[in-house]
Amino acid sequence: MLKDLILFEFIKIKNSKILFIIFFFNIFSVLIGSVIYLSNLEFLKNENQLSLVLWGQCSLYSSQIFLPVLIGILCSISWQMEEKNKNWQRMKTIPISDFSFVFSKFLNIQVFNLISSIIYYLLFVISVILLGVPDTPFLLFFIWCIYGWLGTFPITALQLLLAIKFKNFTSPIICSASLAIIGLATLFFGKIIFTIFPYTQINIGIRARVLDNFKPSEFIIFIIVISFYSFIGLFYSSKILKKRE
């Protein structure tokens, strides 16, 4: 039943302009990062670090600002399909739990987030080729992209919660933008706050700030944090939906 529900969710959402939105956000992120990289190129002396610099410039604003907003848009689009004509009430007539219904939406959006991560990586590779950046560890950056995708899990869960709570299209997106900016500000509040804040997990996963591999202890904390917020978001989403009539 869950598999059929996920497939049904994909059919509903595929006719929207989500892929266009995903492509736009990612090309905008890589373009901004590439421009910043070029503007600072004359000050970069170590050629072995050029690929890391480009990665950092492209992924910092992408992971901390653009992607949380993108996820907010995806979640709002997905849930507004249920608000329209009260489709979510019809879903209550079939023998599935509220949690399964929410979870199917969560998994569906995560598929699109994975597509977004792949598009981002391919655009970054194109940027590397066009800019002639030497000694680029493509496999390492791909792995970081996957970690960044893991970092989208809590944001998707929390944005679904906000979408169900507010019932409208705009408010959850405003919240995602606000929380993304707060997440960016946590860079100045201290490492602990930055590490545990849900809207910084893409940044942490994609290694945009540190530009280095996870230490074992860091990775364990990362998994715990994304698991905690993902569970909270999905649990309370199903609770709110269950109480709605």
Structural domain containing residue 98: 2-10+28-243
CA distance 155 to 234: 11
Query: In the prediction, which pLDDT does 154 show?
Result: 98
Does residue 168 lie within any of the structural domains?
yes
d(CA 238, CA 160): 10
Half-sphere exposure of 126 (CA within 13 A, CB side): 10
Report the interhelical angle of 216-243 vs 152-166 (nearest 10°). 20
In a domain, 157, yes or no: yes
Within a domain: residue 124? yes
Residue 22 placed within a domain: no
Cβ neighbours of residue 15 under 8 Å, at least 6 residues apart? none
| pLDDT the model gives residue 229 | 98
On whether residue 205 sits in a domain, the answer given is: yes
Q: Does some domain include residue 108?
A: yes
* pLDDT recorded at residue 150: 98
Q: What is the pLDDT along the chain (245 residues), one digit of tens a residue?
A: 556 666 666 666 666 678 888 999 999 999 999 999 998 887 776 667 899 999 999 999 899 999 999 999 999 998 888 777 666 666 666 667 888 889 989 999 999 999 999 999 999 999 999 999 988 999 999 999 999 999 999 999 999 999 999 988 999 999 999 999 999 999 888 889 999 999 999 999 999 989 999 999 999 999 999 999 999 999 999 999 888 75
Token code pair at residue 66: 């653009």
- State how far the alpha carbon of 157 is from the alpha carbons of 104, 149, 153, in Å: 11, 13, 6
Evaluate whether residue 23 is within a structural domain: no
- Taking each helix axis from N to C terminus, what angle separates 98-131 and 138-150, rounded to the nearest 10 degrees? 150
Distance, CA of 114 to CA of 138 (rounded, Å):
17
Quickly tell me which residue has 């893409």 as its tokens.
202
Counting Cα atoms < 13 Å in the Cβ hemisphere of 186 gives 22
Residue 74 tokens, joined: 């995806």
Considering the domain boundaries, does residue 106 fall inside one? Answer: yes
CA 114 to chain centre: 9
- If one counts the domains in the chain, the total is 1
In whole angstroms, what is the distance from residue 114 CA to residue 119 CA?
9
